Amino acid sequence: MPRKLNVGLVTLGCDKNTVDMEYIAGMLARGGCDTVPLNPGEDEGGAVFDAVVVLTCGFIADAKEQSVQSVVEWAERKKQTGLPRRLYVAGCLAQRHGAELFGAVPEIDGLLGVGQMSRIAELVRGADADRHLEVAEKPRTDIATVMPRRRIETGVHAYLKIADGCNHTCAFCAIPAMKGTYISVSREILLEEARQLLRSGVKELNLVAQDITVYGQDLYDAYRLPDLLGELCALKGDFRVRCLYAYPGGINRPLLEAMAGLPKVARYLDIPIQHMDPGVLKAMRRPARGADIAALVHRTRRALPGVALRTTVLVGFPGESPAAFRGLMQGLRDTPFEWLGAFAFSTEEGTSAARMDGQVPKRTSERRRARVMEQQANLTAAFNASRVGQTVRVLVDSVDAEAGTALARSDAEAPEVDGTIRLRNCPGIKAGQFLNARIIEADVYDVTAEPE
């Protein structure tokens, strides 16, 4: 019987990459391989890998730099020690700069673009000594069948990728060039994948796509995100569903009514607004750039009492004047979000924003980003302070049995990006358990609670 291959998996970038790597891990496991998730720069304790797969990100400059650094580090290890025996690179950076990277790093045995999970698994399992470069001129991210999936993040939450690719034409973003057009995953595949995740112990399904609000429009005449939410919530078990990456223009009455009427759907929405100045939004070519964000937030809070809202803003976009930036800051104070992430603009080759006049100095962009985050810290701290004394339903993520403490999240906290709830005086509880807890203390981002 042939020896099992030991394969290290390095996942960089967004949660959609996490899902893709779990598909790769599932196909490798089905083919008789052992897989080990690796963090970038992590000491793997002397493990010997027959192969390492690096799934790269190409979204912004920092992400590309991290991806290149990880590939180079593994290539250098292979060059110096012969281990890993084979090195494979895939994902968005590979799609965007594949030929260049393949030529510059001869230690790479295989390089593939996006949407080629099964092909990656085939190459890793195979014994072909030839180098492979496979990057489609027109990338596609469609999933036509239920994929085998092996969790590389073993917590009680999981990401359910309901679509990938993007049809929007935002001036700063290269995602359509890297991933192609928006392609929804069929309801049959999503429901079966959700069933499998729930059977494996998952208690929270986080729906992700470049924009979840346009789900189904490319596949069906009428079936849309509200219908999918209803069918997901009809699955057996005690779990919750969270909606991430909902563009402002797609948050309409049917969606809000569906969320309000489905108890399993978290009172939470991630709405990436990017800016609040009309001129900047027009230059960004944002979809629904004329949307009244304050009115949208008001409608959402009225339809979903107690909802927690998250957003993302981009500062330093070409032409962002001091007045426009001040308007953004004032708008965020007037219409506060519970959670917010901010990015400083970086020029991405192939995007129209990279060629625009009025480029903002990097130092100015970074200073503006710091000011946004400082202001948001105060807004988030005020939100958490207002919660003291409230009783919330939480999902336990992890437990320190010896200390009698745990980490948990309510509807108001998405995994990995928002704060957490520190539970104390909670002996005997288990990860994956839902319980009611009373918030007794608040910090800037996290709160402390005790079970009731």
Q: Read off the pLDDT of residues 86-98 as tens digits, 9 standing for 90 and up.
A: 999 999 999 999 9
Q: Tell me which amino acid residue 449 is.
A: A
Residue with the two structure tokens 């025996």:
85
The pLDDT score that the predictor gives to residue 447 is 98
Q: Is residue 209 part of a domain?
A: yes
Smallest CA-to-CA distance from 54 within 19, 99, 15, 7 is with: 7
Q: Is residue 226 part of a domain?
A: yes
The pLDDT score that the predictor gives to residue 127 is 67
> Is pLDDT at 284 greater than 60 in this prediction?
yes
Same domain, 102 and 183: no
Same domain, 18 and 78: yes
Average pLDDT in the 285-311 region? 94
Q: What is the distance between the alpha carbons of residues 111 and 122, in angstroms, rounded to a whole number?
A: 13
Q: Is residue 343 part of a domain?
A: yes
The pLDDT score that the predictor gives to residue 436 is 97
The pLDDT score that the predictor gives to residue 126 is 85
With bands split at pLDDT 50, 70 and 90, how would you rate the model's confidence at 9?
A: very high
User: Taking all residues of the chain, what is their mean pLDDT, rounded to a whole number?
Assistant: 94
- Residues 250-281: pLDDT tens digits? 999 999 999 999 999 999 999 999 999 999 99
DSSP 274: B
DSSP 358: S
Same domain, 86 and 114: yes
Q: Is residue 118 part of a domain?
A: yes
Same domain, 438 and 297: no
With bands split at pLDDT 50, 70 and 90, how would you rate the model's confidence at 129?
A: confident
With bands split at pLDDT 50, 70 and 90, how would you rate the model's confidence at 64?
A: confident
Q: Is residue 10 part of a domain?
A: yes
Same domain, 220 and 111: no
> Is pLDDT at 1 greater than 60 in this prediction?
no
Same domain, 161 and 129: no
Smallest CA-to-CA distance from 309 within 260, 369, 266 is with: 266
Q: Is residue 141 part of a domain?
A: no
Q: What residues make up the domain containing 447? A: 391-451
Average pLDDT in the 321-350 region? 96
Please count the structural domains in the chain: 3
- Using alpha carbons only, give the angle 165, 341, 306 rounded to the nearest 5 degrees: 95
Sheet holding 6-11, edge to edge: 34-38, 6-11, 51-56, 86-91, 110-112, 132-134
With bands split at pLDDT 50, 70 and 90, how would you rate the model's confidence at 47?
A: confident
- Residues 418-435: pLDDT tens digits? 999 999 999 999 999 999
With bands split at pLDDT 50, 70 and 90, how would you rate the model's confidence at 43?
A: low
Q: What is the distance between the alpha carbons of residues 452 and 242, in angstroms, rounded to a whole number?
A: 24
Identify the domain boundary among 341, 371, 386. Answer: 386
Same domain, 274 and 372: yes
Q: Is residue 33 part of a domain?
A: yes
Percent of the chain with pLDDT over 90: 88
Identify the domain boundary among 83, 103, 134. Answer: 134
CATH code (residue 414): 2.40.50.140
- Residues 142-159: pLDDT tens digits? 999 999 999 987 889 999
Same domain, 274 and 185: yes
Q: What is the distance between the alpha carbons of residues 43 and 39, in angstroms, rounded to a whole number?
A: 9
Same domain, 341 and 440: no
Average pLDDT in the 328-353 region? 95
Same domain, 403 and 350: no
With bands split at pLDDT 50, 70 and 90, how would you rate the model's confidence at 41?
A: low
Identify the domain boundary among 386, 407, 440. Answer: 386
